[in-house]
Amino acid sequence: MINLAYDQFRISHENQSAGDPTAGTAALRSVDECRSFFRDLCTPAELQAMADRWAVVELLERGLPYREIHKQTGVSVTTIGRVARYLMSGNGGYRAVTERLKLNA
């Protein structure tokens, strides 16, 4: 069993390894391929956690307060705060996707 530490996912663009799942994600060509990849890679609980966080991103982008987001999604206020922090000053991943989805809408 491979045990990857969190820091191993913080791989620079020049130094991507075969064990980096983000490289696999970038190679996918459709939503269906992404769905299949994540269903193979993640447990149902992990997929649900990611779906919950993405729902939080969308609601934060609409300007809803944390308590309303909690009421609508059941996601803890702590997790909502964490998502909001990463949306505003994280690694730019949430922002990149939200901006690209706005362009395609």
**Residue range 17-34, pLDDT digits in tens:** 567 788 888 899 999 999
pLDDT (mean) for 48-68:
96
From residue 87, alpha-carbon distances to 5, 77, 92, 95 in Å are: 23, 15, 7, 6
The pLDDT assigned to 65 comes to 98
pLDDT of residue 23: 85
Apex 2 CA angle, 27 and 92, nearest 5: 45
pLDDT band at 97 (very low <50, low <70, confident <90, very high): very high
pTM for this structure? 0.76
Q: How far apart are the first and last CA of the chain?
A: 41
